[in-house]
Amino acid sequence: MKNFFAGPTIVTTFAVSLALIMSLNSSWAPSPNDIKTPAEASVDLYSDISARNLDGVLQLIPAEGFTEIGVGEGETHRLDKQAFESFFKTDLMINLRAVDVKVQDFGDTAIVTGMRVGSITPRGDQAKEKRHSFTMVWVKVGGRWQLRHVHLSAVEHL
């Protein structure tokens, strides 16, 4: 009797089928966020916010959100999915980007510093570009960088 599993046909068919299943199943393939550096994630965060790309933002933050200390604020507040959903429904014009980004990598934790440039302006008003220095804390969880904290500071012009 011939061994059904011994032939090259079944092995080839199995290998091709497995490769096809793996390519169709996104959980086997790394997501685009898996290969980002903390610097890229920081730049993408402000790009996604400006584009009102909720899915993009949610790829970069944990389910519970992250904390932020805004310019001139003494209190920390939490920004999560609901906060971004509400923010993106406003009539505000959002134009933000990260520049001069630098990273201190500590393995599964990274401190990112840089400058947030741009504006958040009521529609109809003249946008005035502002510069705020930022410090971000990113933590790698399950192969993905997630934002845990942002501190924004005003930049003094001399």
Query: 102-117: per-residue pLDDT in tens?
Result: 999 999 999 999 999 9
Q: What residue type is assigned to position 115 of the chain? A: M
pTM of the model: 0.76
Residue 129 CA to residue 59 CA, distance in Å, equals 27
* pLDDT at 155 (0 to 100): 85
pLDDT at 18: 36
Stretches where the chain sits below pLDDT 70 are: 1-35, 157-158
Out of 3.20.20.60, 3.10.105.10, 3.10.450.50, 3.20.10.10, which CATH number does the structure's domain 32-154 have? Answer: 3.10.450.50
Write down the domain spans for the chain. 1-30, 32-154
Which ranges of 1-158 does DSSP label H, i.e. alpha helix?
A: 8-24, 38-50, 54-60, 81-88
Q: What percent of the chain shows pLDDT beyond 70?
A: 77
> Rounded CA gap, 137 and 145, in Å?
10
